[in-house]
Structure 1
Amino acid sequence: MKKYFLRLIFLSLFGGIIMPVQAENVKPGTCHSYKIQGNKVIFDCEYNIQVQIEDVGSGILKIWYDTDGFKRNNESFAVIKKGDGNSHLNISEQPGSYEIYTGELIVRIEKSPFQIRVYDKYQKLLMEDFLDMGFVVDSTQMSSYKTLKPGEHIYGLGEKNGPLDRVGSRLKMWNSDKPCYSVNEDPLYKSIPFFMSSSGYGIFFDNTYKTTYDFGVESDNYYSFSTPGGEMEYYFIYGPTYKQIISGYTKLTGQPIMPPAWALGFAQCRGMLTNEQLTREIAKGYRDREIPCDIIYQDIGWTQNLQDFEWRDGNYENPAKMLSDLESEGFKVIVSQNPIISQTNKSQWHEADSLGYFATDVRSGKTYDMPWPWGGNCGVVDFSNPEVADWWGNYQQKVLDVGVRGFWTDMGEPAWSNEESFDRLSMKHHLGMHDEIHNVYGLIWDKIVTQQFEKHNPNTRIFQMTRAAFAGMQRYTFGWSGDAGNGNDVTDGWNQLAAQLPIALSAGMGGIPFWATDISGYCGDITDYGAMRELYVRWLQFGAFNPLSRIHHEGNNAVEPWLFGEEAEQIAKTTIELKYQLFPYIYTYAREAHDTGLPLMRALMLEYPDDPEAANLDSEFMFGEELLVAPVMEEGAAFKRIYLPEGEWLDFNDPANAFTGNQWIEYPVELETIPMFVKRGSIIPQMPVMQFIGEKADYPLLLSVFPAGINKSAKFEVYEDDGETNNYKSDIFVKRKIQCLAKRTGLEIGFKAIDSNGFRVRSRDLVYQVYMERKPTSVHLSDKKLKTFKVKKSENILPDTIEKAEWSWDEVSGACLIRIPASLVGEPIVIEK
């Protein structure tokens, strides 16, 4: 499409005479004819503009404007779903328009001036070009303008700052390294050009250049998306619900990979965590204090040279033994990668240079000389060169062979290539110039890291977390939000903490369900741990509900929980233990994220799209469908103002405390308080606290049951697989299905474990914790009346083994405890009032 600008802006065919055209607002004008090619229709318009509309299936349309035979410089980096070329599009022609019928959608195209409108099958207007501006070209860019309806809400664009509702915002896509970014700074590290409208559709703009999105800033009558190059090619994704739109985007760009089970535990890092002694000390600190932890990271300085994957001399005495020892204690070690080779790393640099594995400088034809924050100038590895893949894979495998369990791919913008870095545009990659490749550079790198990992370690689930990425990243990697926090005053990072919540929710709606913040904020020197205590605790309480929870800070600023005082340590321990207890619940939703693309942390408008209070609510979130979490993010807070949507909500910390929905409440908080609510009619699976995921393979399940109203059921399906392999992609798993039906006479509980594709199901004891208004008169297992037992004060309600079926009543919590040994778990339970 680049050729299009030169040809279209300066020339037009008018009456057989070539005449100059104004370099502004060139549009398709009048459509003269059309032709059908299977599932595509191509319209011929003025100025040699053609418009292709393709039925991709599942309510997805591809709309593409071009003048050069619909050719791309590169195939889409993001899209994997293709339409059925053997199908035949259904189109009818009217005197002034055409209509396309797909079964789910009606597309009406006005002939003159050319205009596209999309309706659902009931003739409800979903999206329309704004007047004749569905495609507009001037001397600098191509744009598409859409009507912005009164009251319309727009969400998305992935990991972005600002309010959840994008109406009133102008945003850019240009992966940028923004240390200690402000709460309104844009662009940031990732480019996810996908957004959703409350009118029932989403748009994925499949363009890798520095695109711009104006959602009603220029005018409240329209929004637009624009590009300086590449293709005007976008996908219309029908919902009509937000969840269905996200599912459609997932079908289009790929399913998220599932993390290893242990990745959903807690992780510890710091900028100078780059040596064996400190790594062992931190591991010992966690285990001695019995604070659960699964992962310890090694930051950039772990290598001898960037990026030779050699352990730094003097920092590591015996890396293989260190990794083996830590593994035996339940710790997995993740190391960083950078996408460059430092010039001080002479051997590897000359190797890559001689093989042509670096991006080149178009001005000289030689390797581009890239300044780098660490290790001096470097060469930028050209991952778009297919010959690089095996070369890089062999290097990264060196540390995997000795026990490293995964990578975090850092600085993949590549770093310091921000908007103002015009010189970087002189870089030439195998697949194109840097203006086209910049936004997908991190994605291409992450793809190679994952594919090479799987090549060398077959059927092993990868852990990879990345900073810079593009749409489709979910097929290869997970994400974190980069260098947040207040670098000028680390204790004054409250606004940065609060801003992380809408960033997390927007990321989740953009195909990044497995996401993390740097707990503590990353930026700023910590000189007074007491002064930092409250902010640290609040950041950790938020981070515990990130699917990936990592404590991390810059430099040699230690941020282990025990450094902030006894109170903070105990709160941190309790908070981290809560995440481990919720692991069966979290892992179930991790599977749902893989299947549907839906995030674990959900903006309330995903679950309550018709609630006006939820439309731009970014101070709380749904954690799955059953739990509402409203982390405290204000300094010195005594209350948290919380909105509860429709239904009845029970205080998860005190289930006897119930609230009616559709109201705001003032919830009292102390430093240790995490406001959490569970919707009545829910079942929350939990497990005993462990020091690391998988410490006890035969753990019992705790099923906290919050019964629904009379004649209604509470249901949950607890998902489980082996947690380590890619067998989940072949649907090898078990689902334990629990249902509690409420009747006037009492409750009926059913349980059934269903395996898929021969999964070897591990037997588990069960403990039901059923919250009731009063003590039951009796509990039956099948036809047998169960005996009662008393829970001792020091006794765990989840014992290691359960010998017999029995029940107890907890007067304080108002819960009926029922213990069922594994041999009896399938038998029905009746609780009589």
Structure 2
Amino acid sequence: MYIYDSAGKKVAESAGTADPEATVIPKASGTYHVVVVPYDVHNNSFTGKAYLPEATDAGNLTGFSGSHGTYEIAAGALKARADFLADDALRLQASPDGVLADPPGSHMIRTQPAAQRHTSSFDAGTYYGIRSKDTVLRVYKKPLRFGLYKADNRTPVWQEDAPLRWTSGGMRQSLGRGATEQFFGGGEQNGSFSHRDQVMNVGNNTNWNEGGFNNSQPFYLSTAGYGVFRNTMTPGVYDFGPHVRTGQQERRLDAYYFTGDTKKVIGKYTSLVGKPFMPPVYGLEPGDSDCYLHNANRGERHTLDALKVSDGYVQNQMPLGWMLVNDGYGCGYENLPETGAGLNKNNAQLGLWTQDGLPNQADEAKAGVRVRKLDVAWVGGGYGMALDACDEAKAGIEDNSDARGFVWMPVSWAGAQRCSVLWSGDQSLSWDYIRWQIPTYAGATLSGIAYNTGDVGSIYRHDAKMYARDLQWKAFLPTIMTMDGWSSDITTKKPIDQQPWLDGEPYTSINRKYLQLKERLLPYMYTLSKDATKTGVGAVRPLSLEYPDDPATLGADAKYEFMSGPDFLVAPVYSDTSVRNGIYLPKGTWTDYWTGKTYQGPTTVDNYAAPLDTLPLFVKSGAIVPMWPKGTTSWQTRDKGELDYDIYPQGTTKYTLYEDDGVTRKYAKGSSATQQVEVRAPGHGRATVIKVGASVGRYDGKAASRSYGFTVHAKTAPKQVVAAGGKLPHLADAKAFDAAASGWYTDPATGVTHIRTRSLSTDHGFSVELR
């Protein structure tokens, strides 16, 4: 926003996208005019000046009527409507032009809830009240203002502190702010997840760095117990200062308000715009991308050269789920069916970067294309274009195969979570790059975005140490990708590829360690993906989502940590150091994943030893973590005859594993299975009992039987272990354990007990007792 004097001289300027709802300085001042400078996302530049006329406020109420969940409201030229919806949500629309409808061409909303019929209205003198099951909407008369209250009509959820205000360029809503009220959301907001006292831009740009918002969404939620989605395809500015002022660049308000705690609000929002999609299991494995044909940075190559790189993953025992083989502008492809077949032999899927359209989807899918990455050249500024592209790319795979569409996209809008991984764009590697991405991806989850990620090691610069540090923590994101063929070495400035073994030792072994750990944890992450399709809540979470009553989770230390699911706390190292300070652990008992040392929270850990091969990683007591066997490098070659559980006993806890065939859409018709595990650890010398239920359900490839491995992090070693009714042999050490078909031993160095059962039918449950 720029402010000019009456002579046209610029006298003030504020950073960021202009606020179309900015308060115009009254004419009585006689000197200033507020000017909005429109922003062109394609050319990354401002396009001119647009002077805003003085704003108009809603006047006094002039009309109120309605019943059965829908109410018509008027204040002079302003027409408004309140719809109470079946999922305990409120839709509030207002326009001085009298047009109350969805934005033209909108298809963000997947399922429009029906209006509640069981509502009633009453006249309270200074306001009309509309009562629904859980809330009361107050419609104040002089002037017209709105306030949403809980069912008691005494406790405010939100309250307008000024009437709706509009100009020719937009409309603004102004709310009061609670003394400790916090605000989240806005989609992907690079570098932040908590927005109190911040101005949050909601629009699409191509600023890929801290402060950018290319995958933003017109949605925010509040710790006061509500969230709001603005049904719009126009940019906006949300100011979460002492007066919460939100507005879009249009003369209308169309807002869906959802009430409840944060997780419930995310669930209601994603029920409206679309739940996160269910990825194929190979989509949760690492991806690799490069241009193999007409690559100006690497010299002339051929598409089939991609197979030599995929061979490298196999030779180095590193998982690879998929490859983009034409990664770059001007990069075409040749021999696509042969390339796809070759990648499949190495247990990887074929993917294509789509620069400017999808003219050959059917043929490409038949050649084996199972992954799409879209680009800004035709996705453009996002909004409706992004959703069209995303839906089209996903459908192109699914209409021409039995696979699940797996799409990546760099610029998007509300609803993109239903069809795409959101990618934060072209960045250059630095320690700062690692730092600001941590709250970015955790914060995106608070807008129902289950898959948000950035390139491992960035696209443009490479450093072996920073690459290893970046890969470590990104192994705990659901989706990751290495971008090759564009990077240069930070020191030598020479072109360099970025496959995780190319830096040599010790980096190769460190990178392998975390990639194999990511692979082993796929049953855990895959179950979280299934959960997200129902709840809208993704795996990567700020600590405040799991510990909403702990104000320290909003502090400076916790900002650069995240939860991977409910059980893992990850505290990445984002500076050139071997010691991590300021690790905040919330209430509960936490176990260091590497050493077994326990911490009692809430506490802050300083001087944590974090050499290059160590990611600070903690597990919450009570956790039950499913894992594939050691050495697994592909979902296709894993030993289906074994499933492991990593267990941290405390009290009684339960976990439900989800499984299906991993690739087809048959799961949507019920082709899947679940298995519940319950751990009871009463303590005081009494037996710890692990109850493993039957695997309930069917899917293609389901194991009829399997052995189970249990790693039990208990305080005391058992004297004997009984599994499935039989006493297991006590083995001397790890070597004997690895050689045995079943048995148990306790590691004297760590106190951890390792157990393996014989192969058992998945149709029947069994118990394990540590006595």
Equivalent residue for 2:250, pick from 229, 236, 244: 229
TM-score (norm 2): 0.86
1:693-723 Cα shifts (integer Å, max 9, x gaps): 2213614111111111xxx212211111111
For 1:319 and 1:449, how far apart are their aligned partners in 2? 18
Structure 1 position 561 matched with structure 2 position 511: no
Q: 1:822 to 1:121 in 2, by over 3 A?
A: farther
**Local SS of the residue matching 1:519:** coil
What are the residue-to-residue correspondences of 1:239-638 with 2, within 5 Å? Answer: 239=260, 241-270=261-290, 275-301=302-328, 311-312=332-333, 316=334, 318-340=335-357, 392=358, 395-411=360-376, 414=379, 439-457=383-401, 459-485=402-428, 490=429, 493-524=430-461, 526=462, 532-553=463-484, 555=486, 557-616=496-555, 617-638=558-579
Residues 170 and 252, structure 2, Cα contact 8 Å, conserved in 1: no
Q: In the alignment, which of 215, 218, 223 is matched to residue 193 of structure 1?
A: 218
- Whether 1:696 and 2:638 are equivalent positions in the alignment is yes
Partner of 2:129: 99
Runs (4+) of structure 1 exceeding 6 A deviation are: 757-760
Letter in 2 for 1:715: K
Cα distance between partner residues in 2 of 1:662 and 1:301 = 47
Partner of 2:26: none
**Count of aligned pairs:** 697
**Structure 1's 579 and 124: CA in aligned 2 closer, same or farther, altered over 3 A?**
farther
Pick from 77, 80, 101 the counterpart of residue 107 of structure 2. Answer: 77
User: Which one-letter code corresponds to 2:266 in the other structure?
Assistant: I
Tell me the secondary structure at the aligned position of residue 212 of structure 1: strand
Sort the Cα spacing of 1:289 and 1:83 in 2 relative to 1 into closer, same or farther, 3 A.
Answer: closer
- Residue 427 of structure 2 aligns with an amino acid whose one-letter code is A
Aligned-partner SS, 1:100: strand
1:471 and 1:511 in contact (8 A); partners too? no
Match of 2:74 among 44, 47, 71: 44
Q: Quick check: 1:183–1:495 contact (8 Å CA) kept in 2?
A: no
Whether contact under 8 Å (2:641, 2:706) holds in the other structure is yes
Contact preservation (8 Å) 1:515, 1:548: yes
Match of 2:753 in 1: 816
**Residues in 1 aligned to 2:725 and 2:360: alpha-carbon distance in whole angstroms:** 63
Alignment partner, residue 167 of structure 1: 196
Cα deviation digits, residues 423-463 of structure 1 (max 9, x gap) = xxxxxxxxxxxxxxx53211111112223332233x42111
- Equivalent in the alignment of 1:382: none
> For residue 355 of structure 2, what is the amino acid of its counterpart?
N
**Counterpart residue type for residue 291 of structure 1:** M
1:679-828 matches, within 5 Å, as 679-688=620-629, 689-696=631-638, 698-708=640-650, 712-743=651-682, 744=684, 745-756=686-697, 761-762=702-703, 763-781=705-723, 783-793=725-735, 796=738, 803=741, 805-823=742-760, 826=764, 828=766
Select the structure with the greater relative contact order (CA < 8 A; seq sep ≥ 6): 1
Please tell me whether the aligned partners of residues 39 and 84 of structure 1 are also in contact (alpha carbons under 8 angstroms).
no
Deviations 1:155-205 (A, max 9, x none): 110111233211222232332223xx4423x3x322311111111111111
Shift of the 794–268 alpha-carbon distance from structure 1 to 2, 3 Å rule, reads farther
SS of the aligned residue for 2:369 comes to coil
Distance 1:482 1:771 in 2: 40
- Matched letter for residue 418 of structure 2: R
Provide the residue aligned with 1:176 in structure 2.
205
- Over 3 Å counting, the alpha-carbon distance change for 1:554 and 1:759 in structure 2 is closer
Q: How does 1:603-682 map to 2 (within 5 A)?
A: 603-616=542-555, 617-655=558-596, 657-666=597-606, 667-682=608-623
Q: Distance in 1 between matches of 2:737 and 2:728?
A: 20
Question: Does the CA-based 8 Å contact 2:303-2:339 persist in structure 1?
Answer: yes
SS class of match (1:821): coil
Any idea what the Cα deviations from partners look like across 1:290-338, whole Å, max 9, x if unmatched? 122222222444877xxxxxx54xxx4x332222122012111211112
Give the 3 Å change call, closer, same or farther, for CA 557–397 of structure 1 in structure 2. Answer: farther
Check whether the contact 1:776–1:831 (CA below 8 A) recurs between aligned residues: no
**Aligned partners of 2:514 and 2:547: how far apart in 1?**
28
Q: Supply the distance in 1 between the matched residues of 2:216 and 2:209 (Cα, whole angstroms).
A: 18
Counterpart-to-counterpart distance in 2, 1:832 and 1:464: 46
The code of the aligned residue for 1:691 comes to T
Contact 1:647 1:662 in 2 (8 A): yes
SS at match of 2:677: strand
What is the CA–CA distance in structure 1 between the aligned matches of 2:561 and 2:89, rounded to whole Å?
A: 31
Say if 1:208 and 1:230, in contact at 8 Å, map to a contact too.
no
The one-letter code sitting in structure 1 at the alignment partner of 2:465 is E
Q: Give the AA of the match of 1:339.
A: D
Match of 1:28 in 2: 58
Cα deviation 1:384-404 (Å, max 9, x = unaligned): xxxxxxxx4x62222111112
Partner deviation per Cα, 1:501-534 (whole Å, 9 max, x = no partner): 111112222222122210011123x5xxxxx121
Pair 690,300 (structure 1): closer, same or farther in 2 beyond 3 Å: same
Please tell me whether the aligned partners of residues 130 and 137 of structure 2 are also in contact (alpha carbons under 8 angstroms): yes
User: What TM-score, normalized to structure 1?
Assistant: 0.80
Opposite residue 253 of structure 1, the aligned amino acid is V
Asked whether the 8 Å contact 1:271–1:552 carries over to 2, the reply is: no
Does the 8 Å CA contact 1:640/1:669 hold for their aligned counterparts? no
Query: Of residues 139, 142, 145 in structure 2, which corresponds to 1:115?
Result: 145
Q: Which amino acid aligns with 2:757?
A: I
Aligned partners of 1:71, 1:514: CA distance in 2, in Å?
31
One-letter amino acid matched to 1:765: S
Q: Partner of 1:17 in structure 2?
A: none
Pair 679,231 (structure 1): closer, same or farther in 2 beyond 3 Å: same
8 Å CA contact 1:601–1:624 kept in 2: the answer is: yes
* 2:41 match: none
CA distance in 1, matches of 2:723, 2:665: 38
Residue identity opposite 2:128 in structure 1: Y
Q: Could you say what secondary structure the match of 2:438 adopts?
A: helix
Hey, what's the Cα distance between the residues in 1 that align with 2:292 and 2:182?
43
Query: Does the 8 Å contact 1:562/1:569 carry over to 2?
Result: yes
8 Å Cα contact 1:24-1:139 kept in structure 2: no
- Unmatched 5+ stretches in structure 2: 1-20, 22-51, 296-301, 487-494
Once the 2 structures are TM-superposed, how far is the Cα of residue 581 of structure 1 from its aligned partner?
Answer: 1.0
How far the C-alpha of 1:633 sits from its partner, in A, is 1.0
Alignment counterpart, residue 128 of structure 1, candidates 158, 169, 183:
158
Contact persistence 1:738–1:752 (CA under 8 A): yes
Residue aligning to 2:767: 829
Q: Which amino acid aligns with 2:389?
A: W
Contact 2:215–2:422 under 8 Å retained in 1: no
